[in-house]
Structure 1
Amino acid sequence: MDFAFDARTEELRARLLAFMDTHVYPAEQVVHEQRERAASPWETVPVVEELKAEARRQGLWNLFLPDSGYGAGLTNLQYAPLAEIMGRSPQLAPTVTNCAAPDTGNMEVLAQFGDEAQRKQWLEPLLAGEIRSAFAMTEPDVASSDATNITTHIERDGDEYVITGRKWYISGAMHPDCAVFIVMGKTDPDGADIRRQQSMVLVPRDTPGVTIRRAMQVFGYEDHYHGGHAEVVFDHARVPVANLIGEEGGGFAIAQARLGPGRIHHCMRLIGMAERAIELMCRRAVSRNAFGKALAQQGVVQNWIADARVAVEQLRLLVLKTAWMMDTVGNRGAHTEIQAIKIATPRTVVGILDRAIQLYGAGGVSQDFPLAELYAGARTLMLADGPDEVHQRSLARRELKKYL
């Protein structure tokens, strides 16, 4: 394993770091100010559109997609340090570079499993940043940590599918540019193989029978950057059979293919969040005094900072190893490593952010610093894309199998 950055990665890192310093960090406060004046909290404010145009001009666009025909053609190992940099401003940087979830996962699904007509209608506008999308899988009435539990029905009726069900925490659904949902439901609810009961269909947002019921909050945040998280009702919504992605019964496999890259992308960005937390901790520690000396001279603060640095270096190596394995042996071959980073990274970064918040005192939980919002995002990732306990269960079974 060689984790040295190649020439292309180094060049993109330099451009992205300059873009962050020159454009993204200064725009963070501007976004808040413009949003306060906006007619709707969900509309895209002018500075975001300006940054998107600048990112495209600089070639910092669709970096996540390994398909060189559609995206940048980077490997996971090449993209890892770039995603880490974007993670330092996770609400803004991924959005303005068109590397934000859930669009990234949806574009990967369409690129890998969509047919020519689906790619033309939906993938190309997504790649161009002309529309947004949502992924509708999680449901409020079942334990969605087990995807086989979903109850949304996708029933064939002649040349159409009829979708009925209720979803929630559907990221991106509140965004006014959200044009399409990828909906996971059951086409064969009584099938013998519980992992072949599900299918995925494309449902345009303006389809009759689709209702955005409300915006869901996350620790009080509405996550406007990603288009919010909505509760969505599908009441006998009809779409053409041609809107099926892949084949009937292929939904579970598509979901697993989608979530593998998504999990490592989240972990890459989480490391960037931790790096920003360490930077903020250090700046605070050298600028504030308590009990007669700088916070930086307090032993407990020094311990927090040292422990954070050790933890981040460990996490980064594990994520880079996982990226390398995904590139060399595929997502299935890197299954153990993907689960390991999904368990370790969010919980560790939550701990680092918690210490950073403590160091900032009241300011740490306020809107004047990014720490509270970063904490909410990191803590959520202990649930998203499979809760920690599900990954622990699967990982333990794989380890125990060697001894049975």
Structure 2
Amino acid sequence: MRPLPPEIEGEKRTVKPVERTQRIFIFGATGSIGKAAIDVCRKTDVQVVGVGIKNNTESLAQLIPGLNLKVIHISDKTIRKSGLNLPYSAKLFLGEENIEDAIIESDADTVLNGVSGGAGLRYSLATIRTKTKKLALANKETLVIAGKLFTKAVEESGTKVVPVDSEHSALFRLFRGVDRNLVRRLLLTASGGPFLERETSEPTPEEALSHPVWQMGKRISIDSATMFNKVFEVIEAHHLFRFAYDRIEILIHPEGLFHSILELTDGAMVALMSVADMRLSIAYALAYPEEPRLNFPLRFESVKNCRFLPADSEKFRALEALTHLRLGANNSYPIALNAADEVAVSAFLNRTIPFSSIVKIVLETASAFDRKEPNTIEDVYHLDKEARALAEERVKKWMFSCT
């Protein structure tokens, strides 16, 4: 995949609103991104033609009234249609093996991948295999665990990939007006999470989930508290924009108003500033290459303070992973990071391990995971499974050490 979609380089920014009705398929519809996307669609002329969930049928029933759905996809094959109250017009697809069929049946222009974790890779791959016009990518793990292979597949498919993460959405927009040859560094901002300014020995899951700026899902909230989320965002930016790891930095910005910054070769900075609302980047991704109709005004008089602090690897040990990446760790390392993080975060949320053990388990698992570079998607899945098993062993060892 080129550093940016071909139409971005040298294009003139289009300012007219979307003129035709877009058709969108939302995977991860009952998650925080999915719900926000449905809210955006209800307030614009984007038609939701398909939704996909894992198994939360109760939340699905609350979301679908008023949507003219053609397709519903449920990845959990144990769900029975007889127990569902589905729209008469909607066709049901069950199982991950039917993702592509569901997308094709929906006739969607855009797929929004809001699935959480490494499981989301299947949905991104299905989207480009069906040659859907656009993939609005909120699943960062697609690029974290399969970045090199996925970007190559995107090149061959012709599908446009537009990032939904607020930091990457900001960079995507900034690059539409800035020559990448004039950019020295990418600066991704981070709020610092709930423990930036207060010390706590062993926070509870409830404390770690209380993000001071964003309303997010459970795993990403915990990853924000440990700072692994920002490590994964650096990997995502590396693959999306083709900048070396040593040219991507993290900047702590607790207020969450500046989302990303380009440092130019002459020392000038170009930044995107907006309210902290995921609907903004979702609306932008859905409308691209046009401009979204929704308005998210930022009142300058409401801005009381804007702080920018260096990212402290002593306070946030998860940032040590960036050193391995900058020293040339191959693409099996991010796979192990993500797999171990999913295992450790789940164990913490289940109160099996303490908060402090998350970073230790993830870094130790990834550092010990010395494997060859994955050459195929099947290699990625194999390495992911292997890394999860190693992380689960470390969780069990911690449990036994406490008995």
TM-score, shorter chain, exceeding 0.5: no
Coarse TM-score class (shorter-chain normalised): under 0.3
What is the TM-score of this pair, normalised by structure 2?
0.25
Q: Which protein is richer in helix relative to its size?
A: 1
